[in-house]
Structure 1
Amino acid sequence: MKAKILFEDRNIIVVEKPPKMPCQSDKTLDEDLMSILINHCVEKEVLKEKPYLGLVHRLDRPVGGVLVLAKTKEANRSLSKQISEQGFLKEYLTIVCGKPSSPSGEFRDYLKKLITINMSKVVPQNTKGSKEAVLKYQLIDTVKTNEYGELSLMSISLETGRHHQIRVQLSNGGIPIWGDNKYNKTFIKKKEWSQISLWAHKLAFKHPDSNELVTFYSYPYDEYPWNIFHIKKRWF
């Protein structure tokens, strides 16, 4: 499995992470994004030592899409600061079961991570260990299907970055993500594995060296249920 490089210079590397690939090595020992990119840098620059590569932000293992990594500590500090000061734009595309109550809106919840089962849940505001989670959404289109009823394509903009945030908040809002076998009851009951319909579509941030705003895009694979919306033709 390979990761498509969208942009690279001496400061950053922007890549399209394939679904099902972990960002870092884990107990499964499956091929991971960091190892692939470190090997890429070694081979490209003919290095004798392991290069620096900073994972500034992450994507859940099942989720594909655009990701930026820092090739220097200075670039890492710059990008991390932008994230903490909400100057780092992350937008996702997702397909949910159902339809939101309004064409655009905001979900504002408090989430608590359940470490033992690698999940999160919505809890009351003052719950110990909880953190505020905020996302904004825009409904793009809704299609009726025979098997799943209404499916809706939505754009999601994150204002915070919490564990499983989009998956938890949309499920709690009554519009769980298609294919999500952790937070969508329809797919929890299915014995066979399904690919979650969540894709990191857009990144925008100030380049650590030039300070100019740069924007990168990635598009979901042409497969069900993405292909019933004709995303590239109708939306972008």
Structure 2
Amino acid sequence: MSNKVLSNKDNLQVIYEDNHIIIINKRAGDIVQGDKTGDTPLSDVVKNYIKDKYNKPGNVFLGTVHRLDRPTTGIVIFAKTSKALTRLNKLFVSKGIEKTYWAVVNNAPSKPKGTLINWLKKNPKNNKSYAHKTEVKDSKKAILHYKLLKELDNYCLLEVNLETGRHHQIRCQLSNIGCIIKGDLKYGAQRSNKDASIHLHARKIQFEHPVSKENLQIIAPLPNDTVWAACSN
């Protein structure tokens, strides 16, 4: 199990690296891949890190395996070889990668643990998903499991495990049961966080290494703020 930051060069938190994969603890505000904003994506930052560290000439191969929303923090996996990329993509499709998130929400759920099943429909115009009890046109089934980990003074800490990976799934499904993530204005929070983050963190990932077949469990350190600090105490 790894939960240490191996490198923090230029604010890039590398928490695992070998010849085939590199795992980053993403900061709030970083985009994983390029978009219409034109901001430098995390994938380019990681390529430059690899190029500098290993003094590589020419282009650096880097495959993006999955994404996190821009205001979300935590684990992002990149593939350093095409072999690893192909195998990691297959692992994601076959649900061979177990992802655990921590979410700080404004209310405790009615039950301390449970499963949420909804049909989510994305509205591209406002980049937001909406939860439905039954299937509607162009919706996708979304399943997550949650557990109440801790009650703080003004918030609650939930652990969330995804069974499906839908657009804004955790944000949407938790908001739908009245558990709004701290700072998430889009899904009902009263106030934003000063750094435009939301308190949703991709905390842990478990999977079989695509090449060595070793079982990996990686934990991403929490962001440095008082609410997250209260969660870990």
Q: TM exceeds 0.5?
A: yes
- RMSD in angstroms over aligned alpha carbons? 1.7
Q: Are 2:127 and 1:118 aligned?
A: yes
Please tell me whether residue 4 in structure 1 is matched to residue 13 in structure 2. Answer: yes
Q: Which runs of 5+ in 1 are unaligned?
A: 146-150
Percent identity of paired positions between Structure 1 and Structure 2: 36
Amino acid at match of 1:91: T
1:136 maps to which of 130, 142, 145 = 145
1:209 aligns to what?
Answer: 211
Counterpart in 1 of 2:38? 29
Aligned residue for 1:177? 181
- What's the CA shift for 1:45? 2.5
Q: TM-score, normalised by structure 1?
A: 0.89
1:31 is displaced (CA, Å) by 3.0
| Pick aligned residue for 2:161 from 152, 157, 160 | 157
Are 1:227 and 2:221 matched, yes or no? Answer: no
- Normalised to the residue count of structure 2, the TM-score between the two structures is 0.90
Instruction: Check 1:8–1:174 CA distance in 2 against 1; reply closer, same or farther (3 A cut).
Output: same
Correspondence for 1:53: 62
Question: Per-residue displacement from partner, 1:110-169 (whole Å, max 9, x unpaired)?
Answer: 101111111111135331211111111110111233xxxxx1111111111111000000
2:49 pairs with 1:40: yes
**What amino acid sits opposite 2:158 in the alignment?**
M
Q: Tell me the equivalent position of 1:195.
A: 197
How do 1:98-117 and structure 2 match up within 5 A? Answer: 98-117=107-126
Deviation string for 1:52-76 (max 9, x for gaps)? 1111011000011111111112111
Residues 68-83 of structure 1: pairs in structure 2 closer than 5 A: 68-83=77-92
Equivalent position of 1:18 in the other structure: 27
Looking at structure 1, the residues matched to 193 and 81 of structure 2 have their Cα atoms a distance apart, in angstroms, of 44
* Structure 2 contact 29–196 (Cα < 8 Å) conserved: no
Deviation of the 1:27 alpha carbon: 2.4
CA contact (8 A) 1:199 1:219 kept: no
Q: Distance in 1 between matches of 2:94 and 2:30?
A: 28
Stretches (4+) displaced over 4 A: 190-194
Is the Cα contact below 8 Å between 1:67 and 1:203 reproduced in 2? no
SS at match of 2:125: helix
Q: Secondary structure at the match of 2:158?
A: strand
Q: Deviations over 1:8-46 (max 9, x none)?
A: 111101111111111112222223210101111222222
- Helix, strand or coil: the match of 1:79? helix
